[in-house]
């Protein structure tokens, strides 16, 4: 078969920005492979075709996905043809920040193309088409077409997740599982494997004391069934700062010098804060206070369980120990703010007449996980920051990074500088909850959503008038 890609009219292409494989500026990258694999297994490289690649990871999505904005001068849509049975193989990296050569780490995955959209001529050039191809992990296709009819008895939810994943998804990727507390029974009745795992994540309690904030997601290396609490215990893998790039410093008596490329590739190009504090959202989400009415329909009794954020704070993992509110917050201490009514089987395994009628009966432990999970998830939706940084294949959703969120009152002289030099509350550690690897014509960068559930230091009032007198 003729390799019709080689017959294409040359157009501005997505090129490796580092032919000598040494880093010159932030955003440099090396595209090792970008291949479309046709339904019959034939491979066609698109490295020299004008494309934009975007690969998405999300802490709250089971699989990775992405899009390929494509300028096609070879009519691949007709000749391959593109019919939704293709695969996309991607391998890319960037130069090392120290010395010559590429990073040892690469982004390397094969995806399933499942959709075409926005197909149109390129202006008046009817020999060139533009369209978008959407791709997803192949495990998503397996999940959608698979249904589970199975009963799981006397095992922790984490063991059920392991069995379901390995027996039904059969992925080449491993799964990282945080062990859960208690043994349970669960009947899977015609749901997909990922749907069942999502249900189990909502009922699970960490055996490691990390609460009930389980999430199920995929990164480049593995699938993960872990708590947000455990993720928050990690050490930061990178520090990012907000600063101008490619500029010279001039500090009066300080010798003028070039900033190093190592500084520039760790800078935040721009940032936005779509999620700051919202007391009402936190109240309605059950962060501060909740009440569970647990009804035992067999014994005709009910119990009440209250959630108090301040009492539970020290018992759960956080990025920092400093709370985001004071004890004087008027949203605290009112459990009826959010009321939930659920069926309970508490102590059913200890009541002789129930055990006799149903041997091996298990309590559902809703009193232990339901309110805790709701509060933890609402905390993880607290202070959010979107940042754009130089691309790095080592970044993963679920990692902890440092971002020195800048002060906005600045420094006017050598004798009057901000202390600390970054925002005293929002600076420091963040959890990466979502990210995109984006490769455009001559630049590779990462868009990351960062989350902070606590402040970097205790809340302390500073009189802004007194503090700012030196800036007048």
pLDDT, tens digit (0-9, with 9 covering 90-100), for 238-247: 999 887 555 4
Q: Round to whole Å and give the CA distance between 264 and 239.
A: 12
Q: Round to whole Å and give the CA distance between 214 and 3.
A: 48
Q: To 10 degrees, the CA torsion angle through 325, 330, 331, 335?
A: 120
Find the helix packing angle between 138-145 and 193-203, rounded to 10°: 90
Q: Are 291 and 336 in contact (CB under 8 A)?
A: yes
* pLDDT score of 248: 46
What lies within 8 Å, CB to CB, of 375 at 6+ separation is 286, 287, 288, 290, 307, 309, 312
What lies within 8 Å, CB to CB, of 412 at 6+ separation is 470, 471
Residue pLDDT, tens place only, 259-275: 566 677 788 989 999 87
Whether the pLDDT of residue 403 is over 50: the answer is: yes
Q: Are 297 and 343 in contact (CB under 8 A)?
A: yes
DSSP label at residue 303: E
Segment 344-359 mean pLDDT: 94
Residue pLDDT, tens place only, 100-150: 678 889 999 999 999 999 988 887 777 889 999 999 999 999 999 999 999
Segment 289-318 mean pLDDT: 97
DSSP label at residue 53: E
Owner of token pair 């007391």: 279
pTM of structure:
0.89
Nearest Cα to Cα of residue 46 among 21, 20, 14, 78: 14
Owner of token pair 């004008």: 50
More confident residue, 123 or 151: 151
Q: What is the mean pLDDT of the chain?
A: 88
More confident residue, 413 or 274: 274
* pLDDT score of 261: 65
Q: Round to whole Å and give the CA distance between 441 and 444.
A: 9
């Amino acid at each position: 078969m003729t390799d019709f890609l080689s017959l294409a009219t040359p157009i501005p292409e997505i090129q490796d920005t580092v032919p000598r494989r040494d880093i010159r500026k932030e955003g440099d990258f090396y595209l090792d492979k970008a291949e479309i694999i046709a339904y019959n297994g034939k491979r066609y490289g698109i490295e020299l075709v004008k494309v934009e690649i975007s690969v998405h990871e999300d802490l709250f999505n089971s699989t990775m996905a992405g899009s390929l904005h494509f300028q096609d001068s070879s009519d691949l849509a007709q000749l391959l043809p593109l019919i939704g049975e293709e695969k996309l193989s991607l391998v890319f990296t960037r130069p090392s920040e120290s010395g010559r050569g590429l990073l040892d780490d690469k982004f390397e995955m094969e995806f399933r193309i499942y959709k075409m959209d926005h197909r149109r001529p390129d202006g008046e050039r009817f020999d060139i088409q533009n369209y978008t191809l959407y791709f997803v992990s192949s495990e998503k296709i397996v999940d959608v077409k698979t249904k589970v009819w199975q009963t799981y008895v006397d095992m922790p939810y984490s063991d059920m997740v392991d069995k379901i994943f390995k027996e039904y998804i059969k992925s080449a990727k491993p799964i990282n599982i945080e062990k859960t507390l208690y043994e349970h029974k669960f009947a899977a009745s015609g749901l997909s494997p990922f749907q069942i795992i999502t249900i189990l994540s909502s009922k699970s309690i960490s055996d490691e004391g990390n609460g009930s904030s389980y999430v199920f997601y995929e990164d480049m290396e593995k699938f993960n069934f872990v708590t947000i609490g455990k993720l928050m215990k990690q050490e930061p893998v990178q520090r990012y700062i907000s600063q101008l790039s490619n500029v010279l410093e001039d500090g009066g008596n300080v010798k003028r010098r070039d900033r190093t490329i190592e500084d520039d590739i760790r800078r935040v190009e721009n940032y936005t804060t779509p999620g700051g504090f919202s007391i009402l959202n936190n109240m309605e989400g059950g962060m501060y206070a909740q009440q569970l009415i647990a009804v035992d329909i067999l014994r005709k009794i009910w119990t009440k369980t209250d959630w108090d954020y301040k009492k539970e704070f020290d018992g759960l993992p956080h990025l920092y120990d400093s709370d985001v509110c004071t004890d004087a917050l008027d949203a605290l201490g009112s459990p009826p703010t959010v009321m939930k009514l659920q069926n309970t089987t508490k102590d059913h395994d200890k009541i002789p007449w129930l055990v006799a009628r149903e041997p091996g009966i298990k309590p559902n432990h809703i009193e232990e996980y339901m309110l805790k999970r709701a509060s933890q998830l609402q905390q993880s939706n607290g202070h959010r920051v979107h940042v754009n940084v130089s691309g790095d294949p080592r970044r993963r959703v679920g990692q902890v990074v440092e971002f020195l969120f800048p002060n906005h009152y600045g420094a006017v002289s050598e004798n009057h500088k901000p202390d600390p030099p970054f925002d005293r509350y929002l600076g420091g550690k963040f959890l990466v909850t979502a990210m995109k690897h984006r490769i455009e014509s001559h630049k590779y960068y990462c868009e990351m959503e960062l989350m902070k559930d606590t402040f970097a230091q205790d809340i302390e009032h500073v009189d802004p008038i007194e503090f700012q007198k030196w800036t007048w």
